[in-house]
Amino acid sequence: MRRKRRGCGCLFLFVPILVIALVLGFYYYQGMKVNIDSLQDIQNEKTYVAASNMPDYVKNAFIAVEDKRFYQHDGVDWLGTGRALVISLKNGEASQGGSTITQQLVKNYFFNNEKSISRKLKEIVVAKRIENNYSKDQILSYYLSSIYFGDNIYNIEQAANTYFGTTTYMNGYLPQITVLQSAILASVINAPSNYHAENFAADTALQTRTKNTLDKMLEQKLITQMQYDAAVAGIPVN
C-alpha cells in the first residue's frame, strides 16, 4: 500500500506567496530609491507660495474635492487603493482612483501618468516616506505647486496670476484670490484639457463642477455659509 505524499499542498501555497513577497520587495526597494529630498527644490520656483501663506479656503478647495481625509490619513487611502489594485488585477492594467493628495504629489512629481500596478506600488512606498518626513502643510505646498491646470501651468500661484490677475499669497502685491476662484481651479485639475478656468463665464459644465466643489466645501465645514453664498452669487445664471 503506497504512502500518501505529504508537503505538496504546502509547496503549491509557498511558491506563489514567495513570488508575491519578492515582487513586493522589489517595488519597495524601488520606492526607497526615490530621492524625496528633491521635493524641496519646488521651493526655489519663482511662483512658489507655501500653503501656510495662503488663505485657508484655497487649500481647502482642493482638500474638499481630492482628499477630504487629508489631515487624518497616513498618506495612503488603503481602502481606495486596495479597491483600485483589485480592479487593476482583473483588468490587467492600473485603475484610477483611490489616490490621496500625497499619492497624487508622488505621481505628479516623481512618476508619469503610466497606468501600471508597479507604479501604484512604488507610489504607495514613496507616499508613506513623504508623510513620515514632511508636514501636512509642506505636502500641500508641494502638491499645489506641481499639479497641472492647463495651458502649461503647473503651479497654483501662476494659475491665479494668469486666469484671474490675483495671488494666493496673503500679503501679495495683487488682489487676493477669492473663494470662487479657488473653487474654479480645484474643479479643473481632474480634466484640464476639457475645462479651462478662463472660459468659466461661458462654460456651464465648469460652472456646475465649481458649484459642486463649493457644496463640498460647505458640507465639510471648510468655508462659512457667508463665504459660500458670496461665492455662489458669482456663478453666472444661464
> Quick one: cell of 152?
502649461
pTM: 0.84
Whole-angstrom Cα distance, residue 191 to residue 194? 5
- Give the right CATH number for 20-28+48-232 from 1.10.3810.10, 1.10.10.10, 1.10.8.350, 3.40.50.1820: 1.10.3810.10
Tell me what pLDDT residue 236 has.
Answer: 92
Q: What is the pLDDT of residues 119-139, one digit of tens each?
A: 788 889 999 999 999 999 999
Q: Where are the domains of the chain?
A: 20-28+48-232
Which residue's C-alpha cell is 506600488? 121
> Quick one: cell of 31?
520606492
Tell me what pLDDT residue 172 has.
Answer: 78
Tell me what pLDDT residue 173 has.
Answer: 86
Whole-angstrom Cα distance, residue 104 to residue 94? 15
Cβ atoms of 176 and 58 closer than 8 Å: no
Task: Show the low-confidence residues of the chain (pLDDT under 70).
Answer: 1-24, 26-32, 84-85, 87-98, 113-115, 238
